[in-house]
Amino acid sequence: MRVLLIGANGMLGKDIVQEWRDDEITSATSRDADIRNCDEVERLITATRPDWIVLTAAYTDVDGSERDPEAAFAVNAQGAENVAIMAQKYGAKVLYVSTDYVFDGKGTRPYEPGDPIAPINVYGESKARGEKAIQDNVQDWCIVRTSWLFGASGSSFPEKILRAAETRPELTVVSDQVGSPTFTRDLASSIRSLVHADARGFVNVTNSGTCSWFEFASEILRQAGKNNPVRAINTTQAARAAKRPAYSVLSPAALNALGIHVRHWRDTLPPYLDELRKMGKLA
């Protein structure tokens, strides 16, 4: 099977490259093709002739999207449309990585793939437009919604918490947003399994278990052997530019139905911390 990975330099993309070794993988970055440019996308696809395109390239700065919505929509929506159009033209299937932020967070049970979406920030809206572009322009598609990504290959919440712990005697973390942390290594292997299963439609992929950002931070510090106290604050006190969904837990039912199960998020912290140590990011 020929697989074209678009977004190979991102945190998730780097882990996909390392985890996916049993197919013919072409790793593409923005240097190979700017997905905002349809002609460049076409040249990349004609050169590689993939059976599947895994699209992880994205504008992921949630607060930055509020300040520069044009940049977010150009990559997350128009870029996705360009890839979908060219995938359809050359007979490729597409797996598009999306986000829990397409939901408004007003739910009280895990979101199922078919639940209505209602993004409350620019980033979520740009990814929702990307989802629609995939559905409208390519026949064979799988959209993977995930949440709270972290990995050693890029900067993410756990690493920021650990860095903050080096200089701050006390940390403050939001406690009124609940979701499921997702280790990019586990997401990468799940994406590979979905492609091998020839999956279609919407599938949620996160690590199992739920927590608040406060609980996540506390567990990160505990497992890293740090003693910094963590004080809980609310979303209003955090004063971020973009609104965040208060509850964005995603149901794993569709994923489990395919025989794919993902470990608890707490169990991912030891290998994650080991990776940081090997990379010299954690003493």
> What's the confidence (pLDDT) of residue 22?
86
239-249 average pLDDT score: 95
Q: What is the mean pLDDT of residues 42-70?
A: 98
Kindly give, in sequence order, each residue whose CB lies less than 8 Å from that of residue 267, ignoring residues fewer than 6 positions away. Answer: none
**Has residue 276 got a pLDDT over 90?**
yes
d(CA 7, CA 44) in angstroms, rounded, equals 13
CA end-to-end span of the chain: 41
Q: What is the pLDDT of residue 269?
A: 98
Both structure tokens of 211: 């927590």
pLDDT at res. 229: 96
pTM of the model: 0.97
Label residues 130-143 b or e (16+ Cβ within 10 Å = b). Answer: bbbbbeebbeebbb
Instruction: Say which of 101, 123, 247, 272 is annotated catalytic.
Output: 123
Encoded amino acid at 50, one letter: P
Q: What is the mean pLDDT of residues 253-281?
A: 97
Say which CATH architecture domain 2-152+181-207+248-263 belongs to.
3-Layer(aba) Sandwich (3.40)
**For range 181-200, the mean pLDDT:** 98
Q: How big is the chain by its Cα radius of gyration, in Å?
A: 18
Residue range 170-174: mean pLDDT, rounded: 97
Structure confidence at residue 21 as a pLDDT band (50, 70, 90)? confident
- Average pLDDT, rounded, for the chain: 97
pLDDT at 89 over 90: yes
Listed by start position, the domains of the chain span 2-152+181-207+248-263
123 catalytic per annotation: yes
